[in-house]
Structure 1
Amino acid sequence: MVRVAVIGAIILFLLLFIGLSGLRELGAFAIAAGIISYFLISWFYGAALEAWFNGRTVGKWACGVRVIDVDGCPINGKRAVLRNLLRIADLAPVAALSSIDENIPPTFLIPTGMVGLICVISTRRMQRLGDIASGTMVIIDEKTWQLPVAKIDDPRVAPLATFIPGDYAISRSMARTLAVYAERRHYLTPARRREIARHLTLPLIDRFEFRPDIDADLLMIALYYKTFLAERNAEPADLGPLAGYSPLVRDMAAQASNA
């Protein structure tokens, strides 16, 4: 709606300018400017504003919604362009007005948006084709909105998270993996948890210089805790059940020599 209003305002301004100036030579220029303006607004208005204004266009801001990545991160320029370029596919199929009145030229078409509507109804996150291709979704932009987090009951998780190096930066793909694992681990058997977690944490065990016999499932949840929950729990973690225990290889060697 906002996009149509902007396009209409531009066209109205050009027509008024031509009418008041009375210069016939500006007619072709005005038509060309109107076509170019329509093209730029139709194809790049949404992508530019979503990339620069944190997933919002003027219309989304007015309606209280925004676009984010499916993992909860802010949308980037590449994803914004891709989801907007595929808007034409979501508007398909188009209906010709000539089918209603034969006097209307067949070039006048109305997008039905049935493809996008069916796609939104059929997906869990209510995504259209552009959102599926770019890995984005539209959410209600509430100030109190927070990413859903899994409940962590194991008292060993927070203490173990303190041993993870502070300079370790979680990548976007790793953050998504941690979120999916924490959400679905309750449906897995302990053996399956260890199998999956061992495969994912094996490179990290060497990087962190952790003991090779560390519980891989516990390490995955500790990584999840450090990524999504540690900032919410400002109080220092009580070692509790991990008092006197260290997952580091150097501490294991020291304990073995003292024994």
Structure 2
Amino acid sequence: MLDTVREIHTPEGVALRLPAAGPVPRAFAWLIDLSIRFALVLVASMFLGFLGRVGIGVYLVFLFLVVWAYPVAFEAMWDGQTPGKRAMRLRVLAADGAPIGWMAAFVRNLMRTVDMLPFGYAFGLSSSLIDPWGRRLGDIVARTMVVHAPRVREAAGAHVNAIHAPPVPLLPGEQAAVIAFAERAGTLTPQRQQELAGIAEPLTGAQGDAGVVRLFGVANWLTGRRA
């Protein structure tokens, strides 16, 4: 299945384009995580084997944590990414584009027991090939999806130093939206920055890079920076 883009409209009217990941990059991410878990279990067995029955008990607990807690904890605490997903630049998000929570991470990984049936992830692969956004059964039940994570880019220095007073008074919600843009800009692509800044054209009077710079300047002015 080719990777596809899912477009989600937020309550604010902003269209989020989420590039859904197909089964191939997800399989490579899974293999990386499997290798890491196998290495952890192998090292633990070497050391715990010297502790006799106590070591066996500790090993079984450790094995359970590596098999089940590893993906849940990483996805819930590490921005929706396991080490394998981060290596493949993938991320798990909620179906509405929000960050994944503990419950969703637990459900989607618990459902792997069904996705693996009858063997070789047959159900999961079939589901990902049929679903428009490549979701396996666990993602459908947990209302999550795996997307390609964009490269993190730092905001340009000109954006940080620009200061522009807003031409009109802004409501509290509008002020919060402008400041939120400046805080998140470092994680957005230049195209995404320009897209969001275009929404604020009535405020900035500019589009493209100039609109981004002016919007940063308004955010700096709102947070108390002055020339």
Contact 1:127 1:137 in 2 (8 A): yes
- Residue 10 of structure 1 is aligned with which of 19, 24, 40? 40
Spell out the pairing of 1:223-238 with structure 2 (5 A cutoff). Answer: 231-236=197-202
CA drift of 1:85 comes to 1.1
Report what 1:133 is aligned to.
141
CA drift of 1:34 comes to 2.0
Matched, 1:92 2:122: no
CA drift of 1:30 comes to 2.1
Report what 1:123 is aligned to.
131
CA drift of 1:237 comes to 5.5
C-alpha spacing 1:7/1:34, structure 2 compared with 1 (3 Å): farther
C-alpha spacing 1:56/1:15, structure 2 compared with 1 (3 Å): closer
Contact 1:91 1:113 in 2 (8 A): yes
Distance 1:138 1:18 in 2: 36
Gaps of 5+ in 1: 94-110, 145-161, 169-228, 239-259
CA drift of 1:64 comes to 1.1
C-alpha spacing 1:230/1:44, structure 2 compared with 1 (3 Å): same
User: Which amino acid is the alignment partner of residue 124 of structure 1?
Assistant: P
Count of aligned pairs between the two proteins: 143
Contact 1:14 1:30 in 2 (8 A): no
- Residue 71 of structure 2 is aligned with which of 30, 33, 46? 46
Contact 1:7 1:38 in 2 (8 A): no
Report what 1:30 is aligned to.
55
Say which SS state the counterpart of residue 114 (structure 2) adopts: helix
**For each residue in 1:64-99, what CA deviation from the matched residue of structure 2 results, as whole angstroms up to 9, or x when unmatched?**
111112222221222111111111111111xxxxxx
Distance 1:27 1:10 in 2: 19
User: Larger radius of gyration, structure 1 or 2?
Assistant: 1
C-alpha spacing 1:89/1:167, structure 2 compared with 1 (3 Å): same
Matched, 1:64 2:94: no
Say which SS state the counterpart of residue 236 (structure 1) adopts: helix
**For each residue in 1:10-41, what CA deviation from the matched residue of structure 2 results, as whole angstroms up to 9, or x when unmatched?**
3333443356x5xxxx2222222222112112
CA drift of 1:63 comes to 0.8
Matched, 1:112 2:142: no
CA RMSD in angstroms, aligned pairs only: 3.3
User: Which amino acid is the alignment partner of residue 9 of structure 1?
Assistant: A
CA drift of 1:121 comes to 0.9
C-alpha spacing 1:88/1:134, structure 2 compared with 1 (3 Å): same
Contact 2:89 2:150 in 1 (8 A): yes
CA drift of 1:233 comes to 3.0
Say which SS state the counterpart of residue 129 (structure 2) adopts: helix
**What TM-score results when the alignment is normalised by the length of structure 2?**
0.53
Distance 1:128 1:18 in 2: 36
**For each residue in 1:186-220, what CA deviation from the matched residue of structure 2 results, as whole angstroms up to 9, or x when unmatched?**
xxxxxxxxxxxxxxxxxxxxxxxxxxxxxxxxxxx
**What TM-score results when the alignment is normalised by the length of structure 1?**
0.47
CA drift of 1:236 comes to 2.4
CA drift of 1:113 comes to 0.8
Q: Structure 1 vs Structure 2: percent identity of aligned residues?
A: 33
Contact 1:7 1:37 in 2 (8 A): no
Contact 2:45 2:59 in 1 (8 A): no
